[in-house]
Amino acid sequence: MIAVLFSEASRAVYAAEAHARNETYTFTDAWGMPRTWLKNEYAYLAPNAARLLLSRCNLKHDLVEENGLTAERLAGLRALLIPNAAHLRRETIARLSRWMAAGDRRLIVTGKTNLPPSLLGLESCTTAEAEGFTGWRWRPGSPFASDDWETLYVSSFRGFTVQQVEPAAGSRVLADLVELTGDLENASTATVTDRGPAIVATDRTVFVANQVLEMIGGMMQGHLNVEPVRHFTNPVHWGDTLLFFLRRLMLDLGLGDLWNTRLRSFGAYDGVLSFRHDVHGMRDYSFLDYQIQNLIPASYDIEDPSFSTNIDYSMARDWVARTTQHSFIEPALHNDSSIGDPPTAIFGKGLFNLVTNAGKTLGITICTCGRHSGGHMHPETLDAMDYLYAHDTRILGLCTFCFYHMIEYGVRNPEVVAFTGDGDRVLTYVTDVRRTIATPGVWFPFHPVVTTDKEWRPLRGWDRTHEYDTAYELVETVFGGHGARRHGVDDRLENGVYSFQYHPELARDPSVNSGKGTLDYLRYCINLAERRNYWIATQAELYQRMADYEALTFEMRDGGREVIIGNPTDRRIVAMVLEQRLPFGSVWHGEDELVHVAEGRFVTVPPLAPGARATLRFEPQEYDELLLRHPSNKGLVILDARRDRRSNEIRVTVSVCRKQPLAVEGVDPEGVYEVQVDDEPAQQVGVRTVRTIQARLAEKTDAAAQPTRRTYTPGTTRFLDLEVEGEEDNFVERVIRVRQIPEPQASKVKAALMAAIPAKRGRVT
């Protein structure tokens, strides 16, 4: 188990320091009360970034407040991540020292700290000022000191304090700390000053001397303007690259066993593609028709005609009518942030009022929103989001911080003007669009944080980054992952959530893509995502899955061979998958064997009713019985699959749309099976055998040598070839029961089945 430590004592000191240094901003919040926001490094956003890192790795963890870090709690931890906690109490430090001395424990500390240097493999550690941005320059012998990687990476914000450290004897310095000032156009023009060691590792600890997680936490939610430096390396994935470095440091610290048994947020998929289409009114349904035809989930963010000037009522009605016919298409709100100066729908109660009124106007339940144009007011928009989530429990999340058209802390810079479609607007800073709008470079959903002088609290809802109207090369860049220079680096950051926004009115617009419009780009994006084994999901599906994953409790026993998963919510949670890398022969839930085991390691967790718990046991015994080995796909999601040990019947619960194939393996090659779907009449099904051409040639060679013996070689597959049919436009649940028909009845059924097969060349049964 791994945890992130949150220090309320440190937060309180940061708030006091912010007041003393005039690093605060007070405004009237959506409740009509004064609210004082903390600026720059005093916001203490590093714990949120640490949680993002662990969630991206599918490592279930807790955010532990310092008061809750008891000796008993520590005893259950394998590793602890402490970001930017410079004011831990003496008893906490003593407790951590005893914990580290008592067993095989690991400690990762970043940024400001008051832990004893000796605990971190240091001779000394003191706080120092920095004028510019700071970064890491990898040393020879580090995991990233090769031509695959850049020379240096920006890893902390301008003016953030750093730790000046001296490593202890036996510690390893993996990277040097450099300060970047002067011309920040790129790494070659910046003035680079050495500031000592940046990353120091021992066999059991890693210490990072600058505030890398504070910067990541800040840039995720528009708290920091990272425009001057994000083009130093890979502007699309520069945030992901920093997370990847930290992930590798965790693995090299000996924490690879945490990856052995994991609850997977996206099942057996390697990542996620989520489409958001911004509907301004024009009735071009090319995207929608293509996605419906090919069963591709997508969200359509429709503007409210009672508020927006880009769409009229008849257009809105048509879009709502077309996007509410299929369960895999989500009608959502394109929340307008361009009307008014400052935009009225992004501060105070404006966002809540817009969502409430739009739901009534459009006649839909709004679960997600995607920001339209205009500006983001920091921090007033975060306050408006807080008010929305507090008063509308149906809202799952937004898409707010993708690009920074920013009015920051009420200050406007006349030199920065953004065209919003509603006239020019003076801003504080604006996203550089030389290559990409995905400013944070972090491709995973997160909770924005309210960070004032009185509280630190993650919002309930989710947010994420995205690209828009992307061409082929940018789709490839986004899917390509974090920033190694050359292809061939096989290790990568897992579970990327890649979001794309397209405008339907550009689908066949001859002014783009050499006259072909953007539909080609969209189809290419879909094809590439399917090739890379990505789950394609609507905004609502993505955010609900994230909320479900986060809510589940997860406990391991016997080194990961027994797992207890609990659902403390009031909703049913389905489609979760457990990854087991430890060797096993079978997995059991009570007296039932769970038989959906994809790729030998992904096990479907049974549906969990509100308040339910499930215990999964991994046993070494392997049973040659019915089994489902193929993962779920876009038309058929396996929710539960189990074999009754007494009757040997398997029961499979699926969510299915249209007619989908289902293969049941582990069958008796001479057997006949009875299959029943829901309450429909049972059908008798024979075993289908498929052999590769290599297997057939091997059979012929073997038969020539031993004509009386029939052999089966690798390349031969025997399974029940089933079809499960859902509704044409909606996913529905079906229950399939399969049992083997005993002799002598089986022989009679098999003879009847063989007689019913037409004489057709190539048919093998």
Residues 557-575 have pLDDT tens digits of 999 999 999 999 999 999 9
Does 446 reside within a domain?
yes
Q: How confident is the model at residue 763 (pLDDT cuts 50, 70, 90)?
A: very low
Report percent pLDDT > 90 for the chain.
Answer: 79
**What is the per-residue pLDDT for 702?**
56
Q: How confident is the model at residue 598 (pLDDT cuts 50, 70, 90)?
A: very high
Residues 6+ away with beta carbon under 8 Å from 356: 392
- β-bridge pairing 553-557 and 562-566: antiparallel
Q: Are 5 and 213 in contact (CB under 8 A)?
A: no
Burial 145-161 (b: 16+ CB within 10 A, else e): eeeebbebbbbbbbebb
Q: Cα separation of 29 and 381, whole Å?
A: 10
Structural domain ending residue among the three candidates 508, 526, 545: 545
Is the per-residue pLDDT at 24 higher than 50?
yes
**What is the per-residue pLDDT for 486?**
59
Q: Give the tokens for residue 421.
A: 């479609």
- Other Cβ atoms closer than 10 A to 681: 6
In the chain, count H helices and then E strands: 15, 42
Chain CA centroid to CA 247, Å:
15
Residues 246-255 pLDDT 10s: 999 999 999 9
> Between residues 277 and 693, which one has the greater pLDDT?
277
- β-bridge pairing 271-279 and 534-537: parallel
Q: Are residues 248 and 270 in the same domain?
A: no
Minimum mean pLDDT among 369-373, 469-473, 494-498: which range?
A: 369-373
Structural domain ending residue among the three candidates 510, 527, 545: 545
Is the per-residue pLDDT at 422 higher than 70?
no
Question: Mean pLDDT throughout 153-180?
Answer: 97
Minimum mean pLDDT among 199-203, 276-280, 338-342, 353-357: which range?
A: 338-342
Q: Cα separation of 150 and 689, whole Å?
A: 52
**What is the per-residue pLDDT for 418?**
74
**What is the per-residue pLDDT for 633?**
95
Q: Are residues 393 and 506 in the same domain?
A: yes
Average pLDDT, the chain: 92
Question: Mean pLDDT throughout 661-689?
Answer: 93
Alpha carbon separation from 308 to 208, 210, 376 (Å, rounded): 48, 45, 17
Q: Are residues 269 and 245 in the same domain?
A: no
Q: Indicate which CATH number applies to the domain containing 576.
A: 2.60.40
Does 94 reside within a domain?
yes
Which residue is associated with the tokens 């320059």? 137
Q: Are residues 286 and 216 in the same domain?
A: no
Q: Are residues 295 and 229 in the same domain?
A: no
Q: Cα separation of 624 and 100, whole Å?
A: 46
| Phi (first) and psi of residue 84, to 5 degrees | 55, 40
Q: Are 459 and 449 in contact (CB under 8 A)?
A: yes
Residue 530: HSE in the Cβ half-sphere, 13 Å Cα cutoff: 13
Is the per-residue pLDDT at 602 higher than 70?
yes
Question: Mean pLDDT throughout 363-373?
Answer: 93
Minimum mean pLDDT among 396-405, 414-423, 462-471: which range?
A: 414-423
Which pTM does this prediction carry? 0.94
Q: Cα separation of 304 and 310, whole Å?
A: 9
Does 14 reside within a domain?
yes
Is the per-residue pLDDT at 490 higher than 60?
no
Residue 631 DSSP symbol: P
Does 490 reside within a domain?
no
Question: Mean pLDDT throughout 328-347?
Answer: 92
Structural domain ending residue among the three candidates 228, 259, 290: 259
Chain CA centroid to CA 331, Å:
22
Is the per-residue pLDDT at 760 higher than 50?
no
Q: Are 245 and 575 in contact (CB under 8 A)?
A: no
Alpha carbon separation from 475 to 56, 287, 322, 508, 526 (Å, rounded): 21, 17, 27, 19, 10
**What is the per-residue pLDDT for 124?**
97
Residues 6+ away with beta carbon under 8 Å from 374: 336, 337, 338, 339, 343, 346, 405, 420, 422, 425
User: What is the helix (H) or strand (E) element at residue 197, kind and residue range?
Assistant: strand 190-201
Is the per-residue pLDDT at 703 higher than 60?
no
Residues 6+ away with beta carbon under 8 Å from 719: 663, 664, 665, 667, 687, 688, 690
Is the per-residue pLDDT at 711 higher than 70?
no
Q: Indicate which CATH number applies to the domain containing 364.
A: 3.20.20.370
Q: Cα separation of 432 and 453, whole Å?
A: 31
Which residue is associated with the tokens 């995720």? 220
Amino acid at 434: R
**What is the per-residue pLDDT for 131?**
96
Q: Are residues 140 and 14 in the same domain?
A: yes
**What is the per-residue pLDDT for 279?**
96
- β-bridge pairing 122-128 and 133-138: unpaired
Residue 741 DSSP symbol: P
Q: Indicate which CATH number applies to the domain containing 142.
A: 3.40.50.880
Amino acid at 436: T
Question: Mean pLDDT throughout 378-407?
Answer: 94
Q: What are residue 628's DSSP bridge partners?
A: 596
User: What is the helix (H) or strand (E) element at residue 75, kind and residue range?
Assistant: helix 71-75
User: What is the helix (H) or strand (E) element at residue 637, kind and residue range?
Assistant: strand 636-644
> Could you give the number of structural domains in the chain?
4
Q: Are 339 and 370 in contact (CB under 8 A)?
A: no
Q: Are residues 41 and 134 in the same domain?
A: yes
Q: Are residues 595 and 514 in the same domain?
A: no
Question: For residue 135, is it left (φ>0), alpha (ψ between -120 and 50) or beta?
Answer: beta
Chain CA centroid to CA 275, Å:
14
Is the per-residue pLDDT at 764 higher than 50?
no
Q: Are residues 76 and 188 in the same domain?
A: yes
| CA-derived radius of gyration, the chain | 28
Q: Considering only CA atoms, which of 691, 635, 689, 629 is closest in space to residue 661?
A: 635
Residues 6+ away with beta carbon under 8 Å from 736: 651, 652, 653, 654, 662, 675, 676, 677, 722, 724
| Phi (first) and psi of residue 40, to 5 degrees | 50, -140
**What is the per-residue pLDDT for 421?**
59
Domain that holds residue 617: 552-623
Question: For residue 70, is it left (φ>0), alpha (ψ between -120 and 50) or beta?
Answer: beta
**What is the per-residue pLDDT for 707?**
41
Q: Are residues 352 and 214 in the same domain?
A: no
Per-range mean pLDDT, top range of 224-238, 501-515, 736-750: 501-515
Does 654 reside within a domain?
yes
User: What is the helix (H) or strand (E) element at residue 411, kind and residue range?
Assistant: none
Q: Are 5 and 16 in contact (CB under 8 A)?
A: no
Question: Mean pLDDT throughout 205-211?
Answer: 98
Is the per-residue pLDDT at 761 higher than 70?
no
Does 629 reside within a domain?
no
Burial 719-740 (b: 16+ CB within 10 A, else e): bbebebebeeeebeebebebbb
- Other Cβ atoms closer than 10 A to 332: 27
Chain CA centroid to CA 535, Å:
11
**What is the per-residue pLDDT for 487?**
46
Residues 323-337 pLDDT 10s: 999 999 999 999 988
Does 658 reside within a domain?
yes
Q: Are residues 563 and 651 in the same domain?
A: no
Q: Are 576 and 632 in contact (CB under 8 A)?
A: no
Q: Are residues 477 and 525 in the same domain?
A: yes
Does 489 reside within a domain?
no
Is the per-residue pLDDT at 49 higher than 60?
yes
